[in-house]
């Protein structure tokens, strides 16, 4: 039966991630952004928390805490700095195709070595986000990945995962957001395929986990954007009172917070579903779609509330607006997420399933 | 974290679904077509009462004594009453929200009477609802022509006269008022004192001065009566002041009413989700039947409506879960109501759009749902009021 509490273990992890984000990431937001990297002392203190193995199976030395722990940690880290959150996680969503389709052996062979390498990055690429031709080798380009280095590339297609280690040319980009993690275009010319793992259902599950990964970063950014602009609006006065008390802004601020809470509860439900119940994949697609739609509302309006100050880089809201938009573009973006969410509705016969909560018709 | 509906709730939900489909929906459609409330003597009501519905959840004087003497168990599992109620309400509203309101029972004032009523009042006013001999109703009257969401502004006057009170004023949009055994009416002893001066009175049907009943013509939810009435020098004995005068010396007269409203917001939200879900199911069925699902624009809109309803449902259940945990849910309750009323409206409107001109005929279920659901953005505080309630907490908006 319904329980909206995460439980002590998860709350403790989220709390740890939150303190780290507040103390180590938030104050260095712009520094990390312009350096295109997270500084070494911050990386070291992150490593001490042991979050790198959060979702790894226990047999591989991980904590095996699953999707719920991941979304909570990501949300907290991204509330500090989404770019840094990506930079600090050597595996990122690239873990999911390896784990779900390739299994533990694939993780052992391709992912674990990265955990031993300083600042290594495995890069997840959804086939929808790239123009790649796959034969006995792989060629083509990936317009953007949030990284300046690629130790491992994991390409997720509808029915398989392809692992590439060599033959990747990296061209640095300015990047619209998440610059703390870097930004590059990748070109592959006859790049050798290191491994190939097949499985359609497993691929769908890997995509769902990747969507939750990105959606939780998005929700973290949006929560922070909404909170920051709310607090600003309480402090800032115009026409003789806090601007938050002018009803045009009062209602906007409240609607923004409601939108974030809605996206957040959908995210948590999807993570729980993926972990503990049926139909996690469409729930994850829906949660991602909701986070993206919410980002188009909350991101620009967080800037709006600060007025001219919002446009200036002295405040972080312009960064939130850029990053919220960029995060929602991957894994096929909103359209692909909506299509996958729709498929489950269409399969439900004449009775629309909101979350498989209702009894069978 | 858990979002599962266990078997103990699925069973009753399935029963509600069956009854909703077989009874409530046809009766609701008929009332809508005829443009009148379900008559008091409709065999449907008698059938409900015969099978044990329409009873108070007050356990009677003996039940209450037993409950009082039993020490409160510590460390027991938290209640799940609100969450259960929300799921049931959503399912009932899916079939017909108007019929649910028309159903016999104590209804809206029940929580206040149980919480604030004296033992004597509970026995007098809730007693007949323990095992009712016939369909019985009661109602709560707060709204006035000049005071809706601003409930502190009500003008109905209560003046002390010996061991009686004299009530004068007008109430409107009161559900089931003409058929109620008694009306719990909110009045003020001093309109300039706002909420602190408010009192609630039991007015029994037939009391001289209670009259001028007018059943309103509504856009939707026609199955139950929304009624205006007047109070003209209506003499009410002291014994009918809810909770007795001592309670009001502690200045919680208005809070009693507001507490009921607060508990009601997620319930209104669940109603909106239920109506929206019904519209979405009908819209999907219509689109499928007319080969519209190959159109990505149609698919996208249906997906979005389903997603928004899911958001609303989860916000609503979260608000209810907080209430069950006895944690403050002021923001969440308002948020759920704000969001659910909007997305319920959007779902019905989308349904109309997919129907095309079929929707304009005025005889399709979706068209009825489109009219019905609008009320839920008004009752228990409009969407605008919900935002203000949230803003007091979130940005310190002054009262």
Q: Does A75 touch chain B (CB under 8 A)?
A: no
Coil/strand/helix, residue B209: coil
Distance CA B73, CA B146 (A): 46
Q: Give the percent of chain A with pLDDT over 70.
A: 96
Taking chain B (399 residues) in consecutive chunks of 10 residues, what is each chunk's mean pLDDT?
87 92 97 97 97 93 73 63 93 96 95 92 97 97 89 92 97 97 96 88 98 97 97 97 83 51 83 96 93 93 94 95 90 97 98 96 97 95 95 95
Residue A252 contacts by C-beta under 8 Å, 6 or more apart in sequence?
A301, A304, A305
- pLDDT of A350 reads 55
First to last CA, chain B: 36
CATH 1.10.540.10 fits A8-198, yes or no: yes
Q: What is the mean pLDDT of residues A55-64?
A: 93
- Chain B positions in Cβ-Cβ contact with residue A1 (cut-off 8 Å): 2, 4-6, 9, 80, 83
Distance CA B140, CA B110 (A): 9
Rg (CA), chain B: 22
DSSP string of B331-368?
HHHHHHHHHHHHHHHHHHHHHHHHHTHHHHTS-SHHHH
Burial of A108 (0-12, 13-18, 19+ CB in 10 A): middle
pLDDT tens, A254-280? 999 999 999 999 999 999 999 988 889
pLDDT band per the 50, 70, 90 thresholds, residue A44: very high
Angstrom CA distances, A30 to A18, A102, A180, A221, A316, stand at: 19, 38, 9, 15, 8
Residue in A254, A255, A290 nearest the CB of B311: A290
Whether the predicted interface score ipTM is above 0.90: yes
What's the CATH class of domain A201-359? mainly alpha
B303 catalytic? Reply is no
Residue in B2, B285, B306 nearest the CB of A354: B306
- Chain B positions in Cβ-Cβ contact with residue A269 (cut-off 8 Å): 3, 310, 314
Residue in A258, A352, A353 nearest the CB of B335: A258
For chain A, give every domain's residue range: 8-198, 201-359
Q: Which one is catalytic: B90, B225, B282, B380?
A: B380
- pLDDT of B4 reads 86
Q: Which fold has domain B137-252?
A: Butyryl-CoA Dehydrogenase, subunit A; domain 2 (2.40.110)
Q: Which helix (H) or strand (E) holds B119?
A: helix B119-121
Give me the half-sphere count of Cα atoms (radius 13 Å) on the Cβ side of residue A133.
5
Q: How close does chain A come to B314, measured CA to CA in Å?
A: 7
pTM for this one?
0.93
Q: Does A261 touch chain B (CB under 8 A)?
A: yes
pLDDT band per the 50, 70, 90 thresholds, residue A359: very low
CB-based contact B300 A338, cutoff 8 Å: yes
- Chain A positions in Cβ-Cβ contact with residue B91 (cut-off 8 Å): 358
Neighbours of A218 (CB within 10 A): 31
**A8-198 against A201-359: fold identical:** no
């Amino acid at each position: 039966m319904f329980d909206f509490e995460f439980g002590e273990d998860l709350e403790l992890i989220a709390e740890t991630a939150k303190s780290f984000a507040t103390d180590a990431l938030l104050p260095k937001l712009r520094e990390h952004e312009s350096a295109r990297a997270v500084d070494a002392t911050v990386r070291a203190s992150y490593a001490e928390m042991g979050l790198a193995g959060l979702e790894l199976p226990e047999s591989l030395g991980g904590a095996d805490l699953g999707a719920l722990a991941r979304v909570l940690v990501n949300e907290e880290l991204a509330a500090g700095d989404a770019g840094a959150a990506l930079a600090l996680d050597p595996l990122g969503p690239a873990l999911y195709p390896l784990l779900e389709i390739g299994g533990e052996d694939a993780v052992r062979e391709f992912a674990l070595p990265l955990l031993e390498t300083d600042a290594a990055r495995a890069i997840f690429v959804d086939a929808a986000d790239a123009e790649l031709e796959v034969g006995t080798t792989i060629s083509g380009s990936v317009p953007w990945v949030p990284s300046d280095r690629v130790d491992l590339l994991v390409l997720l297609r509808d029915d398989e995962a392809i692992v590439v280690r060599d033959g990747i040319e990296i061209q640095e980009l300015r990047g619209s957001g998440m610059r703390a993690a870097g930004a590059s275009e990748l070109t592959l010319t006859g790049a050798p395929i290191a491994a190939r793992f097949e499985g359609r259902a497993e691929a769908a599950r890997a995509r769902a986990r990747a969507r939750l990964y990105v959606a939780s970063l998005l929700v973290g950014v949006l929560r922070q954007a909404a909170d920051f602009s709310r607090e600003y609006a309480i402090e800032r006065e115009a026409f003789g009172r806090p601007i938050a008390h002018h009803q045009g802004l009062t209602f906007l601020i409240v609607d923004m917070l409601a939108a974030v809470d809605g996206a957040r509860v959908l995210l948590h439900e999807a993570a729980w579903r993926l972990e503990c119940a049926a139909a996690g994949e469409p729930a994850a697609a829906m949660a991602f779609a909701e986070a993206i739609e919410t980002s188009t509302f909350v991101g620009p309006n967080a800037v709006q509330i600060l007025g001219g100050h919002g446009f200036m880089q002295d405040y972080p809201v312009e960064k939130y607006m850029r990053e919220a938009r960029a995060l929602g573009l991957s894994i096929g973006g909103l359209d692909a997420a909506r299509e996958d969410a729709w498929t489950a509705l269409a399969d439900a016969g004449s009775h629309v399933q909101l979350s498989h909560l209702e009894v069978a018709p | 974290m858990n979002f599962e509906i266990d078997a103990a709730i699925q069973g009753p939900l399935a029963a509600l679904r069956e009854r909703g489909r077989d009874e409530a929906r046809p009766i609701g459609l008929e009332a809508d077509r005829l443009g009148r409330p379900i008559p008091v003597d409709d065999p449907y009501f008698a059938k409900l009462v015969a099978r044990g519905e329409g009873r108070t959840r007050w356990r009677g004087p003996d039940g209450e004594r037993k409950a009082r003497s039993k020490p409160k168990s510590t460390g027991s599992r938290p209640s799940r009453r609100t969450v259960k109620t929300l799921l049931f309400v959503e399912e009932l509203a899916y079939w017909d929200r108007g019929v649910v309101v028309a159903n016999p029972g104590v209804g809206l004032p029940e929580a206040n009477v149980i919480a604030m009523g004296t033992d004597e009042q509970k026995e007098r006013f809730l007693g007949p609802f323990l095992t009712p001999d016939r369909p019985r109703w009661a109602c709560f009257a707060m709204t006035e022509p000049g005071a809706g969401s601003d409930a502190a502004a009500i003008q109905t006057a209560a003046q002390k006269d010996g061991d009686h009170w004299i009530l004068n004023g007008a109430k409107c949009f009161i559900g089931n008022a003409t058929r109620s055994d008694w009306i719990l009416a909110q009045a003020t002893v001093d309109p300039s004192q706002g909420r602190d001066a408010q009192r609630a009175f039991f007015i029994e049907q037939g009391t001289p001065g209670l009259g001028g009943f007018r059943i309103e013509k509504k856009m939707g939810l026609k199955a139950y009566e929304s009624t205006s009435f007047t109070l003209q020098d209506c003499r009410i004995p002291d014994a009918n002041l809810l909770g007795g005068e001592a309670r009001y010396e502690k200045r919680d007269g208005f809070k009693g009413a507001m507490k009921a409203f607060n508990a009601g917001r997620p319930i209104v939200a669940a109603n909106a989700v239920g109506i929206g879900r019904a519209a979405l199911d009908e819209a999907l069925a219509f689109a499928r039947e007319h080969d519209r699902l190959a159109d990505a624009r149609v698919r996208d809109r249906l997906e979005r409506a389903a997603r928004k309803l899911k958001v609303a449902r989860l916000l609503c259940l979260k608000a209810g879960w907080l209430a069950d945990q006895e944690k403050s849910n002021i923001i969440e309750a308002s948020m759920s109501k704000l969001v659910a009323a909007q997305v319920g409206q959007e779902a019905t409107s989308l349904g109309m759009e997919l129907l095309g001109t079929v929707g304009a005929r005025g005889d399709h279920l979706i068209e009825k749902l489109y009219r019905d659901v609008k009320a839920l953005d008004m009752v228990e505080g409009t969407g605008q009021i919900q935002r203000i309630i949230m803003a007091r907490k979130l940005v310190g908006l002054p009262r």
